[in-house]
Amino acid sequence: MDLKFDDQKTFFFTLLLLVSVSYGRQVDNNTKRSNIVLEHHHQVTNLPGQPPDVDFKHFAGYVPVNDNNGRALFYWFFEATSHPQLKPLVLWLNGGPGCSSVGYGATQEIGPFLVDNDAHGLKFNPYSWNIEANMLFLESPIGVGFSYSNTTTDYNALGDDFTANDAYAFLHKWFLEFPSYKMRPFYIAGESYAGKYVPELAELIHDKNHDPLFRIDLRGILMGNPETSDVEDWVGMVDYAWSHAVISDETHKIIGRSCDFKSENPWINEDCNQSVAELFRQYKEIDIYSLYTSTCIGDSASSTDKSPQFIFPSKSTMVPRIMGGYDPCLDDYARAFYNRPDVQKALHVSDGRLLKNWSICNQSIYDNWSDSKQSVLPIYEKLIAAGYRIWVYSGDTDGRVPVLSTRYSIAALGLTITQPWRPWYHQKQVSGWAQEYEGLMFATFRGAGHAVPIFKPSESLAFFSAFLREESLPSSR
């Protein structure tokens, strides 16, 4: 196909890009891994506490997204454990807004290394998602984790659109540095508030893919316990709390009678405000992210660095995230690990002398978030019409973005059901239930809280594999 160029500058930029891609393909065809200078510069070779016998490469560092303002996003990238040149690329985003994909996704959930309970090392994750794909974890937006801006006014503009645009700029800069991944099948995955980040970024990629110079081979999106539509999310959270005996019949009735979640400010009604506050008072006695597991007891439980992964008008700090089946104090171990100078040096954050203050969630970002779309369901409709694959899953013991919220949101789409509600299986046990629609698949994870891969690591890896392979979930033992 012939391309027209407006000027020589565009031509030479295109030529450079094509040469880079060609180089990457040559590397892949020889089943070798890319070895350009920047990849060597960002390769992590001496990570403290890394498990022995790691047979894949991983890279970490900064990618500038705005040179004028000095904005840069931090990433950690893990090649697939085998045949990385043949496997897709998956970007993982955590939510908040303000929470770290490195602290949660990479080293508590789906990465190959998990923080150990003494904060002095890492343990190997046998259910890491880089068994199936090349995994890219991004700390986004600026102010999250190690990502930063040298322009203070940037922090006043943070919101959904700002985040999507910087993530898009990051991807193109990253592809120039890792050209062998430019033409790979690409997916975006995430959880919680990333239920908005993921489709928003996917829409931006879709809209800009008409330009062949900047095309990204986006194939689909995957979201867990995602914030989706404010009205359905709130109604689902209230109904879930009542149906799981967290709030009384009376509180449930008052909320139903006084809270108009479709209005711009339902909290103007004092009865609504008081009854929703009562809901959160009850949840503070347990763990809103995992109803049936223990909480982190001790000094760490009172830490102020335990930001919620959602927006609530009171801006109150909620209880810690609790990881059922694992130590509920993992957030503290992650904070201790990433604030070690030798760890930061190994990840190319600093020279080992200038320590950066890393927190797993940034409360200031959460408090001052300026732009949150009320619903991403119109984006769902747009992506479904364009033929992208959309899978959504819910851990069914999460009270903050509960399974009812997601079911209400999907029902609002009015999609045609192609495969009715049924159990799905893993290792001859019911892992949850699933239903397929025209353009979307929804599944539950039985007994899992907010961060599903921590509760059900083997099941989540099997689920992820089915998503990438475009296979249906097993419907029999």
Give one word for 470, left, alpha or beta, with left for phi > 0 and alpha for psi -120 to 50: left
Alpha helices for 46-159 (secondary structure H): none
154, 290, 398, 405: the catalytic one is 398
Pairing status of strand 389-395 against strand 218-224: parallel
Rounded Cα gap, residues 118 and 334, in angstroms? 10
Coil/strand/helix, residue 91: strand
User: How many Å apart are CA 319 and CA 139, to the nearest integer?
Assistant: 22
Query: Cα angle vertex 195, ends 320, 378, to 5°?
Result: 150
Please tell me which residue in 34, 166, 450, 460 is annotated as part of the active site. 450
Q: Determine contact, residues 400/237, Cβ cutoff 8 Å.
A: yes
Of 297, 283, 289, the C-alpha closest to 332 is 297
- Biggest CA-to-CA distance, the chain: 71
Eight-class DSSP state of 229:
B
192 is catalytic: yes
Instruction: From the candidates 100, 101, 192, 460, give the one annotated as an active-site residue.
Output: 192
Do residues 311 and 305 lie in contact, with contact meaning Cβ atoms separated by under 8 Å? no
Rounded Cα distance between 75 and 54, Å, is 20
- What amino acid positions are annotated as catalytic residues? 192, 398, 450
